[in-house]
Chain A
């Protein structure tokens, strides 16, 4: 595989894992560089029912559907019923209900952001931080969410620390950018060869 097949543009820096997720042509198989969570899904193409502007600024319908199914199937919520012949039936959401749910989600995010923004401003801060969100939730009556959210924030901090360790590892490797790029391409080639050899 030559650079020309990748679209030819000379890279200015070695690719970071987050950028790899956007370059499907570089995924050469299991032996390659591990990818971190691919946070963004393919934008809006499955939002058939929503107008484009709304679709761009709302969660993907497929994700919402997945979550709906998970919640409805969850035994702890006792949403499944067992009929006389022993069959389990779960409730379903009508299509308009799903769309309504999506609207509610967007409204929730917007309202939460707006409240948190006001709180941040009063705090003379330009960036909305976690504590502004938790205070907003408190004001809006969702204080029971707070303990769980603090856990999420802590988990994130931990993952950031390990990420910084990886960043500095690259800086400390003592290799120049070009050397790093060359090393990475060598790894891709090797992985590609191993992958092709096994298929």
Chain B
């Protein structure tokens, strides 16, 4: 789908940073990489939706392209059940 993808070795390292994790099949980091890609697309889109909806009326944009801020991401996380595991991370954001 996307042209760029995450380095497989880096993913494997993150996975094995957890001591409970033992061996990992060769194919696994590739699969995780794609899953991560899809997840990122979902989170980015949801955050962008929040940012778009946040502007006044429908005539915003005179200040240039909208910027996605952390509170947009927080709202996106709260609005979707599958993002529950991110609740702790976004809690520190006002």
Least Cβ–Cβ distance between A34 and chain B, in angstroms: 19
Q: Which of A59, A77, A112 contacts B7 (CB 8 A)?
A: A59
When distances are taken between beta carbons in the complex, the residues of chain A under 8 Å from B93 are: 100
Does chain A have a CB within 8 A of B34?
A: yes
Complex contacts, A79 vs chain B, CB 8 Å: 45, 48
A49 to B70, CA, bound (A): 16
Cα distance A57–B81 when bound, in Å? Answer: 27
Contact of B27 among A58, A68, A108, A157 (CB under 8 A): A157
Q: How large is the interface on A (under 10, 10 to 19, 20 to 34, 35 or more residues)?
A: 35 or more
**C-alpha gap A171/B56 in the complex (Å):** 68
Interface size on B, residues (CB 8 A): 59
Is B65 touching A112 in the complex (CB atoms < 8 A)? no
B61 interface residue, CB < 8 Å from A?
Answer: yes
Cα–Cα, bound, A107→B77 (Å): 13
B4 to nearest A CB, angstroms? Answer: 4
| B64, closest chain A residue (CB) | A89
Chain B residues contacting A63 (CB-CB under 8 Å) are: 4, 6-7
The complex places the Cα of A20 from the Cα of B69 at a distance, in Å, of 42
Binding site for B on A (CB under 8 A): 39-41, 56-60, 63-64, 66-68, 70-72, 77, 79, 81, 83, 89-94, 96-97, 100-101, 103-114, 116-117, 126-130, 133-134, 137, 140-142, 145, 148-149, 152-153, 156-157, 160
15 residue pairs of the A-B complex, CB under 8 angstroms, read A40-B10, A67-B37, A77-B41, A89-B64, A93-B67, A94-B69, A108-B36, A113-B14, A117-B18, A117-B20, A133-B35, A149-B34, A149-B35, A153-B27, A156-B26
Binding site for A on B (CB under 8 A): 1-4, 6-11, 13-15, 17-18, 20-28, 30-32, 34-41, 43-45, 47-48, 51-52, 61, 64-70, 72-73, 81-82, 85-86, 89-90, 93
- 9 nearest A-B residue pairs (beta carbon): A89-B65, A141-B82, A40-B9, A127-B23, A113-B15, A39-B8, A66-B4, A156-B27, A152-B34
